[in-house]
Structures are given as C-alpha cells and as structure tokens.
Amino acid sequence: MKLLQLGGFATLVSAIGAVVPGSTSENHTYDYIVVGGGPSGIITAERFAEAGKKVLLLERGFGPTVATGANETLAWDPSLTPIDVPGLSTAVGSTDLWEKYICTDTAGQAACVLGGGVTVNYMVFVHPPDRDFNDKWPQGWKWHNVKSAADRLYERNMGSTLPSQDGKRYDQGLYTVLSNFFHRIGWKSVDMLIQPNEKHRVYSYPAWNIKDTMRAGPVRTYLPLAQKLPNFRLRMGTKVQRLVRSGSQITGIEVETASGHSEVIMLAPHGRVVLAAGALSTPRLLFNSGIGPKKQIETAQKSGVTVPPLHEWINLPVGVGLKDHPIFSIVVQTNGTFEMPDPESLLNGTDVGDVQLYRHKQGVLTQGKHRLIFFTSNNVDGQTRYYQGSCAPSGDGELTITAYMTHGLTSSGVVGLDMNGNTVMEKSPYLQTAGDRKAASAFIQYMIDEITAPSTGFQLKTYTNTSAILGSLTSGIHWTTTAKMGTDDGRHNGSSVVDTNTKVYGTDNLYIVDGSIHPDLPTGNIQAAIMIVAEAAAAKILAQN
Ligand SMILES: Cc1cc2nc3c(=O)[nH]c(=O)nc-3n(C[C@H](O)[C@H](O)[C@H](O)COP(=O)(O)OP(=O)(O)OC[C@H]3O[C@@H](n4cnc5c(N)ncnc54)[C@H](O)[C@@H]3O)c2cc1C
Ligand SMILES: *[C@@H]1O[C@H](CO)[C@@H](O)[C@H](O)[C@H]1NC(C)=O
Ligand SMILES: *[C@@H]1O[C@H](CO)[C@@H](O)[C@H](O)[C@H]1NC(C)=O
Ligand SMILES: *[C@@H]1O[C@H](CO)[C@@H](O)[C@H](O)[C@H]1NC(C)=O
Ligand SMILES: *[C@@H]1O[C@H](CO)[C@@H](O)[C@H](O)[C@H]1NC(C)=O
Ligand SMILES: *[C@@H]1O[C@H](CO)[C@@H](O)[C@H](O)[C@H]1NC(C)=O
Ligand SMILES: *[C@@H]1O[C@H](CO)[C@@H](O)[C@H](O)[C@H]1NC(C)=O
C-alpha cells in the first residue's frame, strides 16, 4: 500500500515538473523557499519566480485538479474533479475528498491541500472596500498603497456575478423573494464587484471566485504561469516541521516527506524563507522554530521538536490576537418557489439537463451556492460594525442567511500549541467584548423585526428569537492576526510579529505572507483580501535588498 502510494506520488509530481522524493535536487541554491501552497503561497512564489528568483514552493497536501495530479474525477467528465465545478461546491463536503483535504491538526477549520482554503470554500469573492485597509493597517498598507496589488489580482482573478456564458442567471426564486423584501424595507440594489465601497443597507447578486465557468483561485490563475518557468519548483506531499536557524538567520528547513522521512533542505546564504501556511498553521511553524511566547516554545520542545537553544528564542506575541468573523444562522420560511439543489444527482450526473448545460458552459452548475448577498452596518457604542448575509436555499421556499459579523468587531482570541503538535484555541475570538455582544444582538433583533413583520409572510425557523440566533454562532473560517503586522515590535512589548515589509522581528531573512499578518478583518468574506495582501507583500519583499 505504502509502495503503491509512493509510486503514485512519484508519477504525480514528475508529471507536473515537481521534485521526486528521494532524488537529489539542488541544495543551497534557492533564493526563496515558500512554505504552504495556499492562495498566499502560490501568489507569492509565482511573483518571485516571475522576477527571475529561484523558488521552491513546499506544500504538505496534494493537487485537487487533474492538471495538478488529482485522479478523483467526475463520473460524467474525466477532466474535472468536484472542486472544479462551481455548482458542486455544496457537494464537496459530502464526498471523501473533504476528509482528505481538511487539516486535522489546526485550532479550527483549514484546508491542507494545494490551493488551501480556496480549493474547498464556497467561492464567495468580496472585493474589499477601501476602509478595510484604511482603518487599522499600518502606513504603507493603506488602500492607496495596495490598490495596484488589487488591480494585479483582479487582472488574473476578478470573480464573477454572472458566470453562465449565455448571460443568464439560473434558479432565481430566492433572489426574487428576498430582493423584493429588501427593496420594500428601503435597501439599495448594488453590484458588489463594481461597488465594493457600498456596504450599508445594500444587496447584490453574489460575486463568486469563478473564471471561465470553473472555480478560479491561484491554483488555476497563477500556478500554471509559475510552472512554465525553469526557476520554479513545486514540491507537494512535503510537510515543513520547523526552520533551522543560526541565531537570527534561517539556514534551512526540516521537512517530513509523504513517506514519513525527515530531511533538511538548506537555504542559500542570501536566501529567504516565506511562511504561508495559513493563520492556524504558521504559528506552529514559528513555535517549533523558537519564535513566540516562551510557554508555546516549551510545549513544542516537550512534544519532541528540536527547538533552538534558549538564548536564541525570539519572544514575540505569536498566536495572540486571533480574529475571525462569527457566523449566525437565520433560517426563514418564505412563500417563494425554490428548493435545495440535489448534490448527489449533480455529482453522479443523473441530473442530465444541468450537466448537459454545463458542458456548454451554461446553467446552474456554473454558479456557486448563494443566490443573494447583503451588507449592512450598525453603531451601538461609537464603533461602526459591519455585517454580511450570504443567502442560500435550504429547503422548499426556505432559505438560510449565513450572517457574518465582520469589519469593526473588537474581539480577539489566542492560538497556542498542544503536546501532540496541534494548534489549539486558548481563547475564543468571538463576542469577547460588551460592544460586540450588544452590536450583534441589535443587528439580529433588527433582522428579526423586519423578517417577521406581518406584511412579509415570512416565518423564522429553527432559531426563533435573538438569543437562539446568537447561540447558533459558528466559525466564519476567516482566521487572521496570529502573527500581526505593525510597527510596534513585539519583542519590546508591542503587539506585532512582522514589520511592514512582512519580515519577522528579530530575524534576518524570515517573512510571513498569509492571513496571520492581517491586523484587521475585512468587511466581507476574506479570500480576495488575502490574495491582494499576498500580491502587495511579494512586491515589498522583492523590493528589499
Ligand atoms: C471550509 C472553508 C470555507 C471557506 N469559505 C470561504 C468563502 O466562501 N469565501 C472566502 O472569501 N473565504 C472563505 N474561506 C477562507 C479562505 O479560504 C481562507 O481565508 C484562505 O484560504 C486563507 O489563505 P492563506 O493563504 O492564509 O492560508 P490557507 O488557505 O490555509 O493555505 C495554507 C496552505 O499551507 C499548507 N500548509 C500548512 N501547513 C504546512 C506545512 N507545515 N508544510 C507545508 N505546507 C503547509 C496548507 O496545506 C495550505 O495549502 C473558507 C475557508 C474554509 C477552510
Ligand atoms: C489515485 O491515486 C492514488 C495515489 O495518488 C492511488 O492510490 C489510487 O489508486 C488512484 N485511484 C485511481 C482510481 O486511479
Ligand atoms: C540537502 O542537503 C542536506 C544536507 O547535505 C541533505 O540532508 C538533504 O537531503 C538535501 N536535500 C535535498 C532536497 O537534496
Ligand atoms: C444519483 O443520485 C440520485 C439522487 O441521489 C439517485 O437517485 C440515483 O440513484 C444516483 N444514480 C447513480 C447512478 O448513482
Ligand atoms: C409572497 O408574499 C408577499 C408579501 O405578502 C407577496 O407580495 C407576494 O406576492 C407573495 N408571493 C407569492 C409567490 O405568493
Ligand atoms: C428562544 O428560543 C429558544 C428555543 O429556540 C427557547 O428555549 C428560549 O426560551 C427562547 N427565549 C426567549 C427569550 O424567548
Ligand atoms: C506594555 O504595553 C502595555 C499596553 O500597551 C502598557 O500598558 C505597559 O505599560 C507596557 N509595559 C512596558 C514595560 O512598557
């Protein structure tokens, strides 16, 4: 079995030009080693390679598309996997792929597959408004600084509110009912892709991470460009354990291969390492490398990791400041005519009509899960807090509003490490402040009042009052701020782990580019903001001599 898997791996990676395990490869020669092939890692590595640098991208998982080696194809099309087809994004969770792709060692949900969270997510693609950067990001990261990075991203990965190539929207029953409702209560219809700054009492057709009727994202929109370059290598099935340091200098990376072997990849003397393992895994890599609160490094040591000698530990507030969007569920029975799609018949191809349309790049399978997205804000204590509602059918005439509390929230939590090497939640990031609790209650009460007004004909289901809806709280899976960027050096009682060039304080050549460094949460789903920050960070790092 092991041998078979190894054989499969070797074929798989050599087919896409990656390093075959066991073979000798250049050592001491990489200008950049990027750890983690999620959206941040792929974008950063691709931009480095494009600039002529010699780049190694290390990813612990495997490829989710046929082009990147996956063989779990659809019964009705051997060139596609379930993650490719937008209309199947709701079905991926019920396939074996989910278990294969979701990390088992993180404090909350994250994906351990090439493409990271963007490979498995519901594809909601929110272009961030200017204020998301202008409020709390440091100088050099305000919207006027990062706008060109956003333009570079959108040029390759714009998102779409109208993916079907016949120019039609499909399955619009929910949109009809809910847009009428919002129109009656005085909200405004906007195009969220074209009007990103409109985030108060507005609704829109959903914007999805879709290009050419397929799931987009860096695996499709950046990686192929890098793979054309001789100075770029992707190595999958390679889990980074820790950095090897000589004081403030990173000299190598210890990895565990798919077959369980440990190996050290040496870095060129001028080389740099970029951690892009995601906000819940990058902290582990830092703790394992002697960077973070003393308590966490000691846990890493006790769990068997070879950490640097005590005098080389760098005391930084890694893991402190964890943020996420909390989700509240509001389930509404309407008088509309719409129903839940049947993922099974779409997966197995028995829904012949929709499959046939999709072959012509049309129809409901070209669309994501949601049918309407709204935004609003409130201010109960002098602080403006934003909300996003992603609305999808959940039964006959029944819809579920996934209501996120977003930009402006004031709560944060803490991520630590346990003896098994898992990152764990030491303090929840949700509703920790009185202001956040009051604001969330006020928002929910407002929604209940509008939804249950007699003229609507709507009825709440499952959660029928404010406290029940507050109690439905789940993770938004938009983790940030576990290695915060800022000018207040965390070694000297500040709150920041990386400087405004994304370099880790107290190191010469270690950078972080992923959700960890975001000092604040965006107003909507986070992936577009993650990608913009990666574009901007790659440029800043390259500009540093
Ligand atoms: C189930 C789910 C649904 C979501 N829904 C949405 C949505 O609809 N819209 C939206 O905007 N956002 C959504 N998100 C959030 C979004 O996908 C993430 O915020 C984004 O992917 C984070 O990017 P990242 O680069 O910071 O890290 P990640 O995406 O977490 O990528 C990290 C990468 O590093 C790899 N890695 C980790 N540890 C190691 C190691 N030790 N060695 C080597 N490689 C390693 C991982 O395998 C992964 O590929 C969702 C996320 C999830 C998990
Ligand atoms: C898919 O690939 C894996 C190894 O990557 C292998 O074990 C499995 O047998 C393959 N499945 C099929 C149907 O080819
Ligand atoms: C790099 O060199 C180190 C030390 O010589 C060796 O242990 C390791 O196997 C080499 N790695 C690769 C990928 O060749
Ligand atoms: C496909 O899924 C549908 C809906 O669940 C089911 O009725 C049908 O039997 C399945 N067909 C096959 C070939 O698996
Ligand atoms: C649903 O109810 C609303 C409000 O009472 C009404 O305007 C609308 O016509 C109804 N729609 C249907 C399809 O019955
Ligand atoms: C809210 O609803 C729950 C059940 O969904 C019920 O147990 C609780 O008593 C209700 N609270 C109020 C204040 O009505
Ligand atoms: C550390 O920072 C906190 C909060 O910013 C402040 O209250 C405290 O006085 C500072 N301590 C030292 C030693 O500077």
Of 379, 377, 407, 372, residue with least CA distance to 478: 407
pLDDT for residue 323 is more than 70: yes
What are the residue ranges spanned by the domains of the chain? Answer: 158-214+323-415+425-475
Instruction: Judge contact between 205 and 370, C-beta under 8 A.
Output: no
CB of 40 within 6 A of ligand 1: the answer is: yes
Of 461, 477, 545, residue with least CA distance to 515: 477
The pLDDT of residue 542: 98
Mean pLDDT of 119-139: 98
The pLDDT of residue 24: 40
- Tokens 């493409």 belong to 115
How remote is the C-alpha of 339 from its chain's centroid? 29
User: For the segment 256-271, what is each residue's pLDDT rounded down to a tens digit?
Assistant: 998 999 999 999 889 9
> Quick check: helix, strand or coil at residue 131?
helix
Q: Which atom of ligand 1 is nearest to the CA of 282?
A: 38
Tokens at residue 524, please? 């909507």
Q: Which atom of ligand 1 is nearest to the CA of 278?
A: 27
The alpha-helical segments, DSSP class H, found in 427-524 are 434-451, 466-470
d(CA 36, CA 281): 9
Of the listed ligands, the closest to the CA of 441 is 6
CB of 8 within 6 A of ligand 2: the answer is: yes
Question: Whole-number mean pLDDT of the chain?
Answer: 94
Residue 393 bridge partners (DSSP): 399
Instruction: Judge contact between 142 and 133, C-beta under 8 A.
Output: yes
Instruction: Judge contact between 212 and 162, C-beta under 8 A.
Output: no
Query: Confidence band (pLDDT; 50, 70, 90) for 545?
Result: confident
Mean pLDDT of 175-196: 98
Of the listed ligands, the closest to the CA of 492 is 7
pLDDT for residue 12 is more than 80: no
Greater model confidence, 347 or 289: 289
Nearest residue by C-alpha to atom 15 in ligand 1: 478
Centroid of ligand 2 to alpha carbon of 73 (angstroms):
11
Mean pLDDT of 443-459: 97
Query: Confidence band (pLDDT; 50, 70, 90) for 25?
Result: very low
Instruction: Judge contact between 177 and 164, C-beta under 8 A.
Output: no
The pLDDT of residue 18: 39
Residue 332 bridge partners (DSSP): 399, 460
Of the listed ligands, the closest to the CA of 460 is 6
Q: How far is CA 274 from CA 43, 421, 452, 495, in A?
A: 12, 21, 51, 20
Q: How far is CA 334 from CA 75, 78, 203, 369, 463, in A?
A: 35, 39, 18, 18, 15
The pLDDT of residue 410: 98
Backbone angles phi, psi at 532, to 5 degrees: -60, -45
Tokens at residue 409, please? 């929230």
Q: Which atom of ligand 6 is nearest to the CA of 463?
A: 5
CB of 268 within 6 A of ligand 3: the answer is: no
User: For the segment 285-297, what is each residue's pLDDT rounded down to a tens digit?
Assistant: 999 999 999 999 9
Of 206, 176, 178, residue with least CA distance to 191: 206
pLDDT for residue 87 is more than 90: yes
| Percent of the chain clearing pLDDT 70 (strictly above) | 95
Query: Hey, how many other C-beta atoms are within 10 angstroms of the C-beta on 302?
Result: 11
Backbone angles phi, psi at 253, to 5 degrees: -135, 125
Active site residues: 478
d(CA 44, CA 539): 9
Instruction: Judge contact between 258 and 8, C-beta under 8 A.
Output: no
Query: Hey, how many other C-beta atoms are within 10 angstroms of the C-beta on 330?
Result: 21
The pLDDT of residue 27: 65
Mean pLDDT of 33-43: 98
Greater model confidence, 26 or 125: 125
CB of 111 within 6 A of ligand 1: the answer is: yes
Q: Which atom of ligand 5 is nearest to the CA of 337?
A: 13
C-alpha Rg value of the chain to the nearest Å: 23
Q: How would you classify residue 171: left for phi > 0, otherwise alpha for psi between -120 and 50, otherwise beta?
A: left
Mean pLDDT of 127-156: 98
CB of 335 within 6 A of ligand 5: the answer is: yes
The pLDDT of residue 26: 52
The pLDDT of residue 143: 98
Query: Confidence band (pLDDT; 50, 70, 90) for 361?
Result: very high
Query: Confidence band (pLDDT; 50, 70, 90) for 4?
Result: very low
Nearest residue by C-alpha to atom 41 in ligand 1: 240
- Whole-structure pTM value: 0.94
Of 233, 234, 175, residue with least CA distance to 206: 175
Locate the DSSP E strands across 190-261.
202-204, 210-211, 214-215, 232-235, 238-246, 249-257
CB of 4 within 6 A of ligand 2: the answer is: yes
pLDDT for residue 23 is more than 70: no
How remote is the C-alpha of 512 from its chain's centroid? 15
The pLDDT of residue 349: 87
SS3 percent helix, strand, coil of the chain, rounded to 5, is 30, 20, 45
pLDDT for residue 29 is more than 70: yes
Of 466, 8, 463, 436, residue with least CA distance to 237: 8
pLDDT for residue 343 is more than 90: no
Of 313, 338, 445, 480, residue with least CA distance to 396: 338
d(CA 106, CA 59): 16
Mean pLDDT of 33-47: 98
Query: Confidence band (pLDDT; 50, 70, 90) for 325?
Result: very high
Centroid of ligand 4 to alpha carbon of 80 (angstroms):
19
The pLDDT of residue 20: 38
Query: Confidence band (pLDDT; 50, 70, 90) for 342?
Result: confident
User: For the segment 222-235, what is each residue's pLDDT rounded down to a tens digit?
Assistant: 999 999 999 999 99
Greater model confidence, 26 or 395: 395
Instruction: Judge contact between 327 and 109, C-beta under 8 A.
Output: no
Q: Which atom of ligand 2 is nearest to the CA of 9?
A: 5
Mean pLDDT of 129-147: 98
pLDDT for residue 539 is more than 60: yes
Centroid of ligand 6 to alpha carbon of 472 (angstroms):
12
User: Class for domain 158-214+323-415+425-475, per CATH?
Assistant: alpha beta
Q: Rounded to 5 degrees, what angle do the CA atoms 299, 517, 46 make? A: 110
Report strand pairing: 188-189 vs 202-204. parallel
Instruction: Judge contact between 59 and 39, C-beta under 8 A.
Output: no
- Ligand 4 pocket test, pick from 94, 340, 345 with the greatest ligand atom count within 8 Å of Cβ, gives 345
Nearest residue by C-alpha to atom 13 in ligand 4: 348
Centroid of ligand 5 to alpha carbon of 201 (angstroms):
22
Ligand 4: list residues with CB < 6 Å. 342, 344-345, 348, 350
Of 180, 197, 183, residue with least CA distance to 133: 197
Annotated binding site: 113, 121-124, 240, 515
User: For the segment 472-501, what is each residue's pLDDT rounded down to a tens digit?
Assistant: 999 999 999 999 999 999 999 999 999 999
Nearest residue by C-alpha to atom 4 in ligand 4: 345
Centroid of ligand 3 to alpha carbon of 190 (angstroms):
55
Centroid of ligand 5 to alpha carbon of 452 (angstroms):
14
pLDDT for residue 11 is more than 80: no
Of the listed ligands, the closest to the CA of 61 is 1
Report strand pairing: 326-333 vs 474-475. antiparallel
